Amino acid sequence: MAGQPFIYSGQGFSLLRDKNRFVLPNVLRSTVRDSSGKDVLCLAKHSEWKCLVGFGLSRVDEFESQLEAEQTRADTAGRAFNRDKRAMQLYNFQQVPFDGSGRFTMPDALTSLANFGEELFFQGIGRSGILIWNPEELYALGDDPDFEAAIATCRSLAEAEITKAKKK
């Protein structure tokens, strides 16, 4: 699969579990594993929304060409572009290991940046990676029709996961 872009597709939901861990959903786990070449999820604050973006290590190889493209677009449009500021956003990620079952511990600094509690919603967004939301932060965007499907999916997955957890 060398040279092919990794496409993150699918959704998932995780409740905080024993030992203060969440679970990276299986539907997304294999793409992260393949992209990283090991069981490592890269996590960073999303540049616009109160959520995180997750991706595999191969995505880091694309950062310099992304910076070049953004610089070119800004120059063409006659807009200012602070390359260092944008590079700081891109490269400011943490590598978080996960086990074979996808269990991982969310770093404290990232927990506060995305206002995480005891629930996470995962949404694959293609080549860019995975958005990871506190469901309440996602629900707060309910007036925006662009988030309608994600909110509906999150609610459905949350209900199923909470029902399953109560049976244990």
pLDDT in tens, the chain (168 residues): 446 789 999 999 999 999 999 999 999 999 999 999 999 999 999 989 999 999 999 999 999 999 999 999 999 999 999 999 999 999 999 999 999 999 999 999 999 999 999 999 999 999 999 999 999 999 999 999 999 999 999 999 999 999 999 887
133: left (phi > 0), else alpha (psi -120 to 50), else beta? Answer: beta
Cβ proximity of 118 and 158 under 8 Å: no
Q: Is 88 exposed, middle or buried (0-12, 13-18, 19+ CB in 10 A)?
A: exposed
Side chain identity at residue 166, one-letter code: K
Rg (Cα) of the chain, in Å, rounded? 17
Query: What distance in Å separates the CA atoms of residue 55 and residue 36, rounded to the nearest whole number?
Result: 8
* pLDDT at site 3: 62
Token pair of 86 as six digits: 């944008």
Query: What distance in Å separates the CA atoms of residue 70 and residue 68, rounded to the nearest whole number?
Result: 6
Cα angle vertex 94, ends 88, 81, to 5°? 15
Full set of structural domains in the chain with CATH? 11-167 (3.40.1550.20)
DSSP letter assigned to residue 145: G
pTM for this prediction: 0.91
SS3 134: coil
* pLDDT at site 1: 40
Query: What distance in Å separates the CA atoms of residue 3 and residue 92, rounded to the nearest whole number?
Result: 24
